[in-house]
Structure 1
Amino acid sequence: MSKVTSQFQADGVLARTLHGFRPRASQSEMAAAVERTLTKKSQLVVEAETGTGKTFAYLVPVLLSDGKAIISTGTKALQEQLYHRDLPALRDALAPRKMVALLKGRANYLCLHRMNQAVAHSGELNKEQQSQLVEVRKWAQRTEDGDVGAINILQEDAAILPSVTSTVDNCLGRDCPDYDDCYLVKARKRAMDADLVVVNHHLFFADMALKDVGFGELVPQSDAVVFDEAHQLPDIASQYFGEAVSSRQLQELAHELKVLYLTELKDLKQLDKAADKLLGSLKDWRLVFPHDAMRGNWRQFSQQESVRMAAHMVAEHLGFLRDVCKNALGRSQDLDNAYERCVQFLHKWDQLQEVDRTGFSFWFETTVRQVTLHQTPLSVADKFGGYLERSEMAWIFTSATLAVGEDFSHFTNQLGIDQAETLCLSSPFNFAEQALLCLPRYLPQPHEREMPKALLEVVEQVLDHNHTGGTFVLFTSHRMLQIIAKQLEERTDRPLLVQGSTSKRELLQQFIAAGNGILLGTSSFWEGVDVRGDALRCVIIDKLPFASPDDPLLQARVEDCRLRGVDPFAQVQLPQAIIALKQGAGRLIRDADDRGVLIVCDQRLVTKPYGGVFLQSLPAMRRTRDLAVALEFLDTLEKSE
């Protein structure tokens, strides 16, 4: 027995450290595989189903190994949970001398220079932003790490945050007057000195993309990288190996230059004029797109004459602004920085108009006020796989959902992971006893007009039999969520929590506190949500989570499959949907004592040939087509309280 696996025994460090710890063969097996990978500097891909204890299965060998390691998580929330909850006691018990650091992206840290600028020009802010700025300044007096996520009084998307944080574009780097006090610089310094650094996938790939073009290195060099929630990597990697320009970026640039004119460069009237011209053309640019928020195919949409004209005017006014800045170079660090951004944005803008290039998806997304153009590579396998091959590091990829059946090829092919050992570990939970899967009979097809009414009836019947427990209703579209939310509001006096009404963290806290709440959510609630006990007894899924056929990246991948002569449904759409359904189903049973019902309201699970592949990928729960049986099971849970 190795030093690592001995920690997982009944008399090991985990039993002494963790309340309620029980030895699990699958956890010990994963830890041994991670230990081998760290020693050999090789690659490992592990699907560890809910209950395996994968977090400790990789943390123990990492803490006991020599060298430096990066742990990358899927979200900032998981990053904080790992750093603040899971790591401290384990590190103290196993490796008290190891230094551990938390590193987030720059937008999470207060920028003192930009805060001081905002204070100096607070007259330019609206009343809400001025009030928020007062709170930021109070908090700035007492913060140690500058992490703006700790300003509890502000919402996650507070309007003031872009004015008091920096971006890669507007950061002055070593030329900044507040460089020595910079919270981001201090966080990076701590990460450079640490033995174990906890980051998130977005930060990791932002750094990897920067290193690829030789600009910088956010995440320090290490001997090992562990990706938790690794199923998210292919899409995130694609974003960072692509290009994007948003109208918000260009508007922020123009507004910053207007502030410079009002303060440092009052004689440069043309700067104010050029910024106004760009702002005007950006308003016209937004108007050529549909009003509602959407995603679309930029390659097709850009062929319209009105769109081409609007894009040309943005480029022309951005070029004018660049020329004005160029003529005043050397008069202000902020202006010199703005000139460089003008040059970069103009280059990207021109590149995004050249939509005839192959190997990329060209797409746009809009909000009520903004438009973002994207160029996304259809495959990152060569780039990411090459990165792994060149590195002399251990690479570990783990998630509860990576395989289709026991086949990992969908995941490994996307990332170019050719040499990895693979391991599929089933959950130690007794799903046959703990859970029931119901596929109700007689429901309409998902696309039929009667479906919202039928779904509402299922939800209401569940609520009638689940009085003292909580219910998740997970949707594949915001439209269906809003329809059901509006109807339920009038029909229940139970706590009804709807995604979008407040932050995800706040919604979950309210849901757990309520004990018998109803939470309606879309994609972000299908994963990374851990509610144990009776607070969540039933998960209802409205339909199979196939990606929208209108999604431009999906369209491009489908077209690429056709050109290569392979079946796009089997190669792309089906595996993605299976992994997403496994994630949603995984919300139900989170503990050995949890019990509950999973209801999937999609007839295709039993009427389509591919339905069997979905069912084989789900945990081995008892199954029924009779909703009454599921309701009876909920009744037994009520009585057993």
Structure 2
Amino acid sequence: MSLVEQVADVFMPAGPLARQIPAFKARVQQTEMAERIADAITADAACLVEAGTGTGKTFAYLVPAMLSGGKVVLSTGTKTLQDQLFERDIPTVREALGAPIRVALLKGRSNYVCLHHLERAHSEGRFLQKEDARHITNILRFSKMTKRGDKAECTDVPESASVWHMATSTKDNCLGSECAKYEECFVVKARREALEADLVVVNHHLFFADVALKEEGMAELLPNCNTVIFDEAHQLPETAGIFFGQRFSTTQLLDLAQDVRLSALAEARDCLDLPVQSAALDKAAKDFRLTLGNDTVRQPASQMLKHAEFLKGLDALAERLDLMTSLLETQAGRSPDLERAWQRAVALGQDLQRWKKGALGQPAVTDPDAEATPGDYVYWVETLGHGLHLHATPLSVAEPFTKLMASSPRSWVFTSATLAVQGDFGHYKEAMGLHDIASYCWDSPFDYGTQAMLCCPTDLPDPNSPEYTERLVDKALPLILAAQGRTFFLCTSLRAMQKVRTQLETRLAFHQPEITVLCQGDAAKNELLRRFRETGNAVLVGSQSFWEGVDVPGDALSLVVIDKLPFAAPDDPVLSARIDALNRQGKNAFMHYQLPHAVINVKQGAGRLIRSERDQGVLVIGDPRLVTKAYGKKVWRSLPPMARTRDIAEAETFLIQTLKDHVA
């Protein structure tokens, strides 16, 4: 029996999944998707699959993957989805199939307790606050009880706790096989398990980080792997761009300076220059960050290099790093930590010089195997909190990704609810270099015509006008009241988000004070979602973090408001450079690049509303360009076939009836 035939049998109404899962319902879309993925696996081919919400795409790729008999790497968009697959979905399918396959979960090294750094932090006891000391004690206790060492399992210490950086390692400060704890290392154990497993669950960041850096994870897994499946594949172009590029940050230098200080105290007390030089490097990194003030900056390098203070700080930082490197070379033989610190300093110095040369348009590639030239990259500068980051981002990831796919024959599956624009995969194929491969599109099985209504209100001003946000909140207020909260208000910028929050708090305090307003940034994302679900009458105001990967099925969510079409800011340095490159090729950058991006983002935001067959609700897209501009039709037609209206009163009636049905 062929793999396609085996897969078809599994999804039959009386098949293994139906016997294992009481609520299982055979869907034509799900079965067809699973069969096409089975085709790709059998032929060592690639395929693109867009499957609407409710298709059941997770089971549709897990079944052929488990029945294929080969080694599969499954990469997800987030660690949350990674955990869900490993702990819930994969065990369910494996039990239904009776498949004796070995499954491993592999995360980036910073997700695992590092026994070496934990022990050193505990023994040194140099903490800024009492809470850190308590957290380290809890992590130490956890490290002696856990099998996997995954910090997500350490419930006594929040994942956001700052002390975790003292109890985990990075690619920079990991000692590798030189570490005294190497055989006990949780990262080493996780990677060994991954090598022995039939199905390995990773996330996109780990996949590309290890491929780009040629570390031990994917670099060892891929050669032995028969199939790679990317879920939430719409995130790949951006994620790949990060890791196929180059990065340097002052945060790396601050971490190096701190590690040198600790090593000097433990292993080189007689070298008085080490703490002096580490303090000087720390100061130079902070001074360089201060050359850009406290503002959030995302600027092309060409602009930043015109500022004398920035250039002066850059040169001072390079000089101070050279001095530290020379000193560490004389002390490297005294311990593995000092040896690793010297290697880090050398690498950081090379990264800094490479970035500067590239930003100045000089030949900067030192890798003899590399073919990239400065013109292939966008050089830009960014401030994030207390760090200053120097980036070199590739204009396109198509070429390096195509080379990765060609490295050896295997099947590649790319799936998401949002890959195409009106059924056309051209934009995605070009971004990833996926030419001449099979592509399939299945609509959601949900009855959007009766379950949902799309409203684009009349009489709203231009989205760029100062009064736009306030007017939109006024338009949405009757719907929020009709839904009794139960609303996601999704904004395209943090500034708009704060404005919406203020406006809503003022209006709801007067009209319906029992409705709670939650806002991104008030607490961790998962905590906000928990409050939203439990409150039952809340409005959650968020920006990009809540446009995707958020699942609130049932009565808790009845209204989604999107403030504007999510076009990326044209002054973003990477976007600006890509637009220029497309224009030079004679292409219309807006229609070719910016609009498809916006369509996919709108589809993600809209997808928050209907998550199950019994969900009902209203989607509001405030932006009048949806109906007044010709390109708005492309967005309009890419959305699910909901009932459509421009009348707020009609949408309000729909919501009231929806609530009545749910209560009944």
> TM-score band (shorter)?
over 0.9
18-27 vs 159-168, greater mean Cα deviation:
18-27
Matched, 1:132 2:145: no
Whether 1:38 aligns to 2:55 is no
Match for residue 53 of structure 1?
Answer: 56
Could you say what secondary structure the match of 2:537 adopts?
A: coil
Candidates 248, 271, 275, aligned match of 1:245 = 248
Counterpart of 2:559, as a letter, is: C
Q: Could you give the per-residue CA deviations for residues 259-288 of structure 1, whole angstroms, max 9, x where no partner exists?
A: 112221011111111111111111110111
Match of 1:588 in 2: 609
User: What's the counterpart of residue 435 of structure 1?
Assistant: 452
d(CA) in 1 for partners of 2:223 and 2:607? 33
Give the alignment's Cα RMSD to 1 decimal. 1.7
Contact 2:418 2:600 survives alignment (8 Å): yes
Q: Secondary structure at the match of 2:145?
A: coil
Which residue pairs with 2:365 in the alignment? none
1:494 paired with 2:515, answer yes
Q: Matched residue of 2:66: which SS?
A: helix
Matched, 1:417 2:434: yes
Give the Cα separation in 2 of the matches to 1:437 and 1:49: 17
Name the SS for the 2:173 alignment partner: coil
Q: How many Å separate the matches in 2 of 1:388 and 1:369?
A: 38
2:103 corresponds to 1:100: yes
Matched to 2:356, the amino acid is Q
**1:112 aligned onto 2:105:** no
Of residues 208, 212, 215, the one that matches 1:205 is 208
Counterpart of 1:75? Answer: 78
Deviates more, 1:86-95 or 1:453-462: 453-462
Secondary structure (helix, strand or coil) at the match of 2:469 reads helix
Indicate conservation of the 8 Å contact 2:210/2:218, yes or no.
Answer: no
Q: Corresponding residue for 1:444?
A: 461
Cα gap change, 1:377 to 1:404, in 2 (>3 Å): same
1: CA distance, partners of 2:272 / 2:221:
38
Pairing 1:342–2:359 present: no
Spell out, residue by residue over 1:317-365, the C-alpha distance to the aligned partner (whole angstroms, 9 max, x if none).
Answer: 0000000001122111101100010010000001111212211111222
Distance 1:296 1:155 in 2: 34
For residues 499 and 132 of structure 1, do their structure 2 counterparts lie closer, same or farther at Cα, with a shift above 3 Å needed? Answer: same
Aligned to 1:27: 30
Aligned-partner Cα distance in 2 for 1:456–1:154 = 39
1:583 is displaced (CA, Å) by 0.4
1:375 aligns with 2:392: yes
Could you tell me how far 1:213 is from its partner in structure 2? 12
- Range with bigger deviation, 268-277 or 123-132: 123-132
Q: Could you say which residue in structure 1 is the equivalent of 2:364?
A: none
Q: Distance in 2 between matches of 1:384 and 1:553?
A: 19
- Equivalent residue number for residue 478 of structure 1: 494
Q: Which amino acid aligns with 1:122?
A: G
The letter of the residue matching 2:580 is E
Residues 204 and 219 in structure 1, CA contact (< 8 A), matched pair in contact too: no
Match of 2:326 in 1: 323
Which residue of 1 is the match for residue 91 of structure 2? 88
Aligned residue identity for 2:461:
P
| Structure 2 residue identity aligned to 1:368 | G
Supply the distance in 1 between the matched residues of 2:313 and 2:326 (Cα, whole angstroms): 20
Bigger mean CA deviation after superposition, 446-455 or 43-52: 446-455
Distance 2:398 2:517 in 1: 43
Say whether the 8 Å CA contact 2:553–2:610 is kept in structure 1: yes
**8 Å Cα contact 2:151-2:159 kept in structure 1:** no
Displacement of 1:212: 9.1
**Structure 2 residue 648 is the aligned partner of structure 1 residue 627:** yes
Establish whether residue 399 from structure 1 lines up as the match of residue 430 from structure 2. Answer: no
Report if aligned partners of 1:281, 1:317 keep a CA contact under 8 Å in 2: yes
Equivalence for 1:384: 401
Partner of 2:482: 465
Measured after TM superposition, the shift of residue 95 of structure 1 is 3.9
Shift of 1:389: 2.2
- Map of 1:313 onto structure 2: 316
CA contact (8 A) 1:245 1:372 kept: yes
Q: Secondary structure at the match of 1:417?
A: coil
Letter aligned with residue 13 of structure 1: P
The one-letter amino acid paired with 1:471 is T
Pair 1:183–1:213, CA change in 2 (3 A):
closer
Aligned to 1:233: 236
- Is 2:596 the partner of 1:578? no
Q: 1:373/1:275 Cα in 2 relative to 1: closer, same or farther (>3 Å)?
A: same
Per-residue CA deviations over 1:581-616 (Å, capped at 9, x if unaligned) read 000001111111111100001011011110000001
- 2:569 maps to 1:548: yes
Distance in 2 (alpha carbons) for counterparts of 1:418 and 1:598: 35
Aligned to 1:605: 626
Match of 1:330, SS? helix
Post-superposition CA distance 1:371-415 (Å, at most 9, x none): 111101111111111221232110000000001111101111111
Distance (Å, rounded) in 1 between the aligned partners of 2:327 and 2:515: 60
TM-score, normalization: structure 2?
Answer: 0.94
The partner residue of 2:551 within 530, 536, 556 is: 530
- What is the CA–CA distance in structure 1 between the aligned matches of 2:403 and 2:559, rounded to whole Å? 44
Q: CA deviation at 1:220?
A: 6.9
> Percent of aligned positions with the same letter in both sequences?
43
Q: Is the 8 A contact 1:109 1:148 kept in 2?
A: yes
Q: Bigger CA drift: 418-427 or 510-519? A: 510-519
The equivalent of 1:260 in structure 2 is 263
TM-score when scaled to structure 1? Answer: 0.97
Looking at structure 1, the residues matched to 440 and 285 of structure 2 have their Cα atoms a distance apart, in angstroms, of 51
Structure-1 separation of matches of 2:152 and 2:87: 14
Aligned pairs for 1:129-278 (under 5 A) are 129-211=132-214, 217=220, 221-278=224-281
Q: Tell whether the 8 Å contact from 2:19 to 2:96 is kept in structure 1 after alignment.
A: no
- d(CA) in 2 for partners of 1:221 and 1:205? 17
Amino acid corresponding to residue 314 of structure 2 in structure 1: A
Answer yes or no: is 1:503 the counterpart of 2:520: no
Task: Render the CA deviation track for 1:175-220: whole Å, top value 9, x for unaligned.
Answer: 1011111111111111111100111001111121133999953667
Distance 2:287 2:92 in 1: 56
Q: Which runs of 5 or more residues in structure 2 are unaligned?
A: 362-373
User: Which is worse superposed, 190-199 or 456-465?
Assistant: 456-465
Q: Distance in 1 between matches of 2:411 and 2:334?
A: 48
Give structure 1 stretches of 5+ with no counterpart.
none
Separation in 1, partners of 2:336, 2:472: 59
Structure 2 vs 1, CA of residues 392 and 617 (structure 1 numbering), >3 Å: closer, same or farther? same
Per mean C-alpha deviation after superposition, the further-off stretch among 456-465 and 617-626 is 456-465
Alpha-carbon contact 1:210-1:217 (below 8 Å) kept? no
Q: For residue 76 of structure 2, what is the amino acid of its counterpart?
A: T
Q: 2-side partners of 1:218 and 1:515: how far apart?
A: 45
Deviations 1:6-43 (CA, angstroms, capped at 9, x unpaired)? 11111011211223221111111101101101100000
Change (3 A) 1:200 1:586: same
Contact 1:191/1:220 (<8 A) preserved = no
SS in structure 2 of the partner of residue 110 of structure 1: coil
Aligned mates of 1:13, 1:181 — CA distance in 2? 40
- Greater CA deviation, 78-87 or 355-364? 355-364
Whole-Å separation in 2 of the counterparts to 1:215 and 1:314: 34
Q: Distance in 2 between matches of 1:70 and 1:290?
A: 44
Whole-Å Cα distance in 2 between the matches of residues 623 and 559 of structure 1? 37
